[in-house]
Amino acid sequence: MTNTELVKIIEKFAASGWDAIDAPSKKWLASNGSADAAEELKKAVDQADKACGSCGCEFDSLYKEALVLLA
């Protein structure tokens, strides 16, 4: 995966309307991937994955991909 793919995933999160991931995603996108925003985003995506990572929605696999790319 490339950074372009990560940006596409984060853009989907930012448009999700779910406060748990959309605000941190928007912050990360606006900061051009700053370290502080990336750390906040990792925490948010990890929590979202734990809360909803196996519900069957389109985001299930994206959480896991994003966590790998943000590592």
Overall pTM surpassing 0.95 (yes/no): no
Q: What angle do CA 46, 7, 50 make, to 5 degrees?
A: 15
Q: Which domain holds residue 65?
A: 3-70
Model pLDDT, residue 58: 87
Q: By the 8 A CB rule, do 37 and 16 touch?
A: no
Q: Quick one: angle between helices 59-70 and 3-14, nearest 10? A: 130
Q: How many CA atoms lie within 13 A of 21 on its CB side?
A: 26
Ranges of the chain whose pLDDT falls below 70? 1-2
Burial class (CB in 10 A: 0-12, 13-18, 19+), 20: middle
Maximal CA-CA distance, the chain:
31
Number of domains in the chain: 1
